[in-house]
A and B are shown apart, each in its own frame.
Chain A
């Protein structure tokens, strides 16, 4: 293998990742051109669609919240050298946990206690759904990628069964539970602002957004500021060194995956307790996979993830606007962009490196 040039940190950490994202968006621009749209106009529409007024911003931040949760989930597992592509299922089951608590407790007069219990249940259910693949990887040698894929499908089958046969609300034709009472509904920021006399358009952005920020801070502290986090990163970086240093690999795999699953489970909080206020099918669709793009783009760091999540949240909201303004562009364009980001920032990440190596190689005296 050709010796890797040592590049200045700024090139490695900022320039190359940025170049990869730019490539992904250039490719997306070509797709828009190919279907007869004007990419520049599309970007304008998306920006105004995502940030044009208070309602748009609210929606953007609402989607951003979901992406922060799943992005963090993927990142935590990734630091331990695990690839959790089960975020999809963990988010889905997390919402089930939150919803079950809401249905059980919203009429008991527990008041404000219902929501913390429901949030804890989302984390617990998400963690449990990740714990089984983690256990099988740690103790039975199964491959976590395959097992988490299987668990995505199992989650979706389980939810269909539960919604159709068990949880369907009385008198409902579609598989949805009864609506939660107000005790189990998360406060919306737009209501708060209205209460303070600031008039904004309603949007589903709710206090789960605060939870997302807190999660980002906690993940940062845990991974970069505790001995446990050091062991986690050591395991991901060099498993044999970690074993030699006495890291309990099996336990670490399970704890890391549980943490990852709990974070993904919070998508259920944002969706089920935040907007839908009932259990239904497919509310978490796409966020688990989107989280992979967010984590790759954000270089698995909470700050990067926050920015990447904001970008994807804006794309999702702007994409909806785009499909109104430019009828030939559907909102699935956002999915395509996610795919391109995963491709260029993830799979092809090494492709652009040589382009940035040559100026430094020459200065260092040129070793090919």
Chain B
């Protein structure tokens, strides 16, 4: 029984750690897409931020400067995406693809040129990273059944970006549903003409949404490089930006929906890791089947086989003033 609880807590803690970058990217996507700018470049921005944060953290020894660099680089890429999608009314998918490929190429080009380590950045000291934080009381509560292990290993003992992420989910949900800025943002994704007629700048709102998205993906990349790992390595985002995109759709473009989708996908991944090489009798559990779940579920949802996902009405449509 003790052991089972410990196993479950470890699984849930793993879920939370895996889900963190997904949640951050998905929240960024919630802002961007609710304002009408499709973003399939979450992956690239996260990767670029991971490289920038690892580079700066290793040069300065400060995780905070690393975080700043990660956010700045991701925001700069967001501005490129914004220029393409908002100002020049280019194809938003093409722009996202460009950002992903550009990030994949440039991170390697700079990593090899600057560090000569085959695309890695130097390993970071603990002082240059975000380390797990022990919340007060986790030691003394450890003996209490159920609450003890849950508190000590799930609620306590996470890194700072994990706590920040949870806070940002609340902030995102609240901003979009309760604040004037959030309501305008959603209006601009649904009916930009109405917003324009009310005398509010469509482009201004969309740029702000895209920049917020950049900031979130910047934190996500930083988390990958200097909290979850201790350096940048080649393609370290490994498709998580795309899983976040799937979660965003699976959560029907809503903050809490996307959050729970990320938790679900994170959980599946944590389970897949645990089941690697596990045999039930003579039957090897095909972990690939579990890994495929996020993609399959998203395809099925989009096809309307399990509920219906409807994007904001003008998501992906460039706005042309005064026709």
Contacts and interface: CB of A to CB of B under 8 A. Distances in A.
A83 B38 CA distance: 14
Interface size class of B (residues with CB under 8 A): 35 or more
B302 A347 contact: no
A1 B322 contact: yes
B119 interface: yes
Interface string B272-302: 0000000000001010110110011011001
Contact of B113 (A36, A85, A334): A36
A153 B84 contact: no
B105 A342 contact: no
A328 B113 contact: yes
Interface string A138-149: 001111011101
B131 to A, nearest CB: 31
A1 B304 CA distance: 37
B298 A146 contact: yes
B109 A292 contact: no
Contact of B91 (A36, A158, A347): A347
A1 B113 contact: no
B302 A143 contact: yes
A351 B83 CA distance: 9
B46 to A, nearest CB: 15
Interface in B81-126: 81, 83-85, 88-91, 93-95, 97-106, 108-110, 112-114, 119
B109 A147 contact: no
Interface in A267-320: 289, 292-293, 296
A332 B95 contact: no
A146 B249 contact: yes
B105 A350 contact: no
Contacts of B97: 85, 289, 292, 342, 346
Given A83-B93, A348-B84, A350-B88, A142 B98 contact: no
B90 A335 contact: no
Interface string A15-57: 0000000000000000100111100000000000000000000
A161 B288 contact: yes
A283 B84 CA distance: 32
B162 to A, nearest CB: 25
B321 interface: yes
B197 interface: no
Nearest to B106: A336
Nearest to A153: B295
A136 B93 contact: no
The prevalent SS among residues of B at the interface is: helix
Contacts of A349: 88, 90
B246 A338 contact: no
Contact of B109 (A31, A83, A145, A343): A31
B80 interface: yes
Nearest to B298: A150
A143 B302 CA distance: 7
B223 interface: no
Contacts of B284: 165
Contact of B40 (A145, A335, A346): A145
Nearest to B246: A150
B102 A340 contact: yes
Name which of A143, A160, A328 has the most chain B CB atoms within 10 A of its CB: A143
B321 A1 contact: yes
Contacts of B108: 330, 332, 335
A337 interface: yes
B299 A136 contact: yes
Interface string A216-229: 00000000000000
A116 to B, nearest CB: 32
A365 B15 CA distance: 65
Contact of A332 (B105, B239, B291): B105
Given A1-B320, A83-B94, A153-B292, 11 more contacts: A35-B114, A83-B91, A142-B304, A143-B302, A161-B288, A332-B109, A335-B104, A335-B105, A336-B109, A338-B105, A348-B84
Interface of A: 1, 31, 34-37, 83, 85, 136, 140-143, 145-147, 149-151, 153-154, 157-158, 160-161, 165, 289, 292-293, 296, 328-330, 332-340, 342-343, 346-351
Considering the complex of A and B, which 8 residue pairs feature the smallest CB-CB distances, nearest first?
A339-B102, A336-B105, A335-B105, A347-B95, A332-B108, A35-B113, A339-B101, A347-B84
9 contacts: A143-B311, A146-B245, A149-B242, A289-B97, A329-B109, A335-B108, A336-B109, A347-B81, A349-B90
Interface of B: 40, 80-81, 83-85, 88-91, 93-95, 97-106, 108-110, 112-114, 119, 239, 242, 245-246, 249, 284, 286, 288-289, 291-292, 295-296, 298-299, 302-305, 311, 320-323
